[in-house]
Amino acid sequence: MTDVPPGYFLALAGLMFTIGVIGVLVRRNAIVLFMFIELMLNAVNLVFVTFARMKGNIDGQVLVFFVLVVAAAEVVVGLAIIMLIARRRASANVDDVRLLKW
């Protein structure tokens, strides 16, 4: 297996993360937002794995597992909330849910 330079991985991760950020900022559908958040998380995971490989230890990989687990938990809770909101409002638009303000 030829060595791909770490820079490539990091660039890819940066690209994914940026897409994720822009997505979160411009889209309004809660489900889509979720997907973008997952994209960002995975970008971070990629960074972790990259560095774990670079440094030759497994700390980064361990952290990836944590991120995965937390992300899964988050999705469970988040989707449940989205489901409940969708049931009440018949929409998944986050701008409709702006009760928590001043």
Residues within the interface to another protein (CB under 8 A): 21, 24-25, 28, 33, 94-95, 97-102
Query: Pick from 3, 12, 7, 5: which is nearest to 46 by CA?
Result: 12
Closer by beta carbon to another protein, 28 or else 88: 28
What is the nearest approach in angstroms of another protein to the Cβ of residue 23? Answer: 10
Closer by beta carbon to another protein, 58 or else 89: 89
Q: Whole-angstrom Cα distance, residue 102 to residue 7?
A: 44
Which residues fall within 8 angstroms of residue 51, CB to CB, at 6 or more apart?
Answer: 6, 60
Closer by beta carbon to another protein, 1 or else 99: 99
